[in-house]
Structure 1
Amino acid sequence: MSSRSPLILESNRRSFLVGALVAGGGALGLSACGSGSPSGAAAESPGSGGALESVTLGLIPITDVAPVYLGIQQGYFRDAGIDLTVQMAQGGAAILPAVMTGDFLFGYSNVVSLLIAADKGLPIAVVSNGSSSTNTPGEDVTEVAALPASGISGPLDLVGKTVAVNALNNFADVTIRNSVERAGGDPDGVKFVEMPYPNMPAALERGDVDAAWTTEPFRTQILDAGGRIVASPMTDLAEDFDSAYYFTSRATLEEKPELVAGFRDALARSFTYAMEHEDEVRAIVQDYAKVTPELAETVVMSVWTPRINRDALAALGSAAAQYGVLSKEPDADALISE
């Protein structure tokens, strides 16, 4: 921790707020998936002879984070002076507190989780876009799927139904309610049930839920089992919609500006490489996301660009405030560090 007084004065308050978020969102398990040297150790930079800074990044095992793994393979993070270790988590409920306590220097989380954290006063800073919509309804990375037996064919049919989501009062709730309201339905008429993404295909098959807010590769698993897309909430809300960001703490941003800049640059190079090498994206998800070769060939891939769409963020923030997920519309300038 820096010796600068503003950060010291904030430490107790930050610890309290992190604890409150964990209690409210449920801290989920973490699992190591190392790439680089063990956390806390220094590695030697090939060619320069200088030490790399060991950095831990919290991710979730979905196709959206494929560029990070390609960037590690291509040496982009090492070029930036970073020995990157990936730590897997089930969701942002575990990643965000770990970033705030310094266990991770960077994390990946859906946009609404970060808006909620900022709304609660946590000193976080978004350093890069993470993944974006394909802009194609019915062929987006994260959508609502259902089996034909549910009788659901569109957003309006979700009223009175039970929908599985990966986190309550979060990204799924906001965007699905918006889609239902746009279709002329009651946005409060949908029942949401929280469960991990990997559990959703089986829950649909058993009839435990009527529909599921799902992302790749689980989205395609449901379609392969006879399911269909019944709502595309991201394309309903905004064009070029960003679904997730990479972020850090304000303390890291202030204490390590060169490291943050290097991480951001390495991500940008990784995004470009991923967009130009789809075959390598489909190959690498078979490893870290445990996707079968057959499934890897058919899953829908995100669009990756470092630019943050502030218009889409404003639309999402307004919807989150409207549905009571946020206490007020967010201040993008205070959240985003570019």
Structure 2
Amino acid sequence: MTTQLTRSPRRRAALTAVSAAVAGILALSGCGTGSPSSTEPAGGTAGAGAGNLDKVTLGLLPITDVAPVYLGEQQGFFEDEGIDLDLQPAQGGAAIVPAVTTGEYQFGYSNAVSLLIAQDKALPIKVISNGSSSTNEPGHDTTEVAAMPDSGINGPADLAGKTVAVNALNNFADITIRNSVEKAGGNPEEVKFVEIPYPNMPAALARGDVDAAWTTEPFRTQILDAGGKIVASPMTDLAENFDSAFYFTSQQTLDQNPELVERFRTALHKSFEYAAENEDQVRTIIQDYAKVTPELAQKVEMTVWRPEINLDGLKALGTAARKYGVLENEPDYSALIVQ
């Protein structure tokens, strides 16, 4: 079942070295920056959490796209599945992926490219659910490229020769932006990318440090409120019903506790459905974990939450990732995704 909000005006000691090594691989691969907000080991065995609940840690990003998880925890969907959920915010895949692969976290949320890169580097990760998808509305998507009116940028082709802020180099943003530029007749090799954390993008753009910014909510709307404009919608350019991020686990967790994985997925999908049916609660809860003001919360674009993974869209992304040199090998989609 597809669920969508109505758019409105959107893992001590032994693991440390392993985690550091994996993080090094991912950093070189452009999987983002950041670190887990806690280094306490997570459980995952019955009785580790409250009562007889399984203590489960989920690493995610403090962005509006993960609102269903916070709502699902609040509504008791995870507890109903015997899960004591511990949410650990991080800035990107360079923190979340190694924490999941070492077993520090049982589950994680990451953009699709970081997970394709992880598989390309032979890291034992498994996608268990869709995470967030495009709205399919150019100019009204959750992640787009914005610029100021005096930038001289009016469309994707104009990004050639310009400096664009992205949250991680050689990753999701580079691939999709280059695809949009080339599709519009521009030279994708002429785009200059600079890595800037999402929260710093509005100020960097206002100061003129960059010409444009690949930005997601709530920072996308902050830029628009400051007079910026959307100049490219890379996700809608790449594929229809494009999935931008997934929830994932490690091969070890899947092998050792497949029933836990299924219970987590069940609670997650209940959360998707609830969020889609309660937009007002979504816009309230993002004010807490994502630190969005009430005024901004009413204006941000909301992602689409659907359980099913759009394999055609993921393959289009994988093809573009190889074309632009981000992946070395052809992705093994059947090995990556748990049915």
Question: TM-score if structure 1 supplies the norm length?
Answer: 0.91
> Which residue in the other structure is 1:207 paired with?
208
**Runs of 4+ that moved beyond 6 A:** 12-15
> Which residue in the other structure is 2:270 paired with?
269
1:231 counterpart letter in structure 2: A
Q: Does 1:185 align with 2:190?
A: no
Q: Does 1:21 align with 2:26?
A: yes
- Runs of 5+ unmatched residues, structure 1: 1-11, 46-50
Q: 1:273 to 1:171 in 2, by over 3 A?
A: same
Greater RCO, 1 or 2 (C-alpha within 8 Å, sep 6+): 2
Contact between 1:22 and 1:97, CA under 8 Å: does it hold in 2?
no
Q: Distance in 2 between matches of 1:30 and 1:140?
A: 28
Q: Distance in 1 between matches of 2:94 and 2:309?
A: 22
2:48 to 30, 42, 45: 42
1:1-338 maps to which residues of 2 (within 5 A)? 17=22, 19-22=24-27, 24-25=29-30, 28-31=34-37, 39-40=42-43, 42-45=48-51, 51-338=52-339
Q: Distance in 2 between matches of 1:168 and 1:203?
A: 17
**1:149 Cα deviation from its structure 2 partner:** 1.2
Q: 1:304 to 1:88 in 2, by over 3 A?
A: same
1:324 counterpart letter in structure 2: G
Contact between 2:19 and 2:98, CA under 8 Å: does it hold in 1?
no
CA RMSD of aligned residues (A): 2.0
2:262 counterpart letter in structure 1: A
Q: Distance in 2 between matches of 1:22 and 1:165?
A: 14
> Which residue in the other structure is 2:4 paired with?
none
Contact between 2:166 and 2:215, CA under 8 Å: does it hold in 1?
yes
Q: 1:117 to 1:186 in 2, by over 3 A?
A: same
User: What is the DSSP-based 3-state SS (H/G/I as helix, E as strand, rest coil) of the residue aligned with 1:253?
Assistant: helix
**1:102 Cα deviation from its structure 2 partner:** 1.1
1:267 counterpart letter in structure 2: L
Contact between 1:18 and 1:122, CA under 8 Å: does it hold in 2?
no
Question: TM-score if structure 2 supplies the norm length?
Answer: 0.90
Q: 1:146 to 1:173 in 2, by over 3 A?
A: same
1:21 counterpart letter in structure 2: L
1:241 counterpart letter in structure 2: F
**1:279 Cα deviation from its structure 2 partner:** 0.5
Contact between 2:59 and 2:105, CA under 8 Å: does it hold in 1?
yes
**1:31 Cα deviation from its structure 2 partner:** 2.1
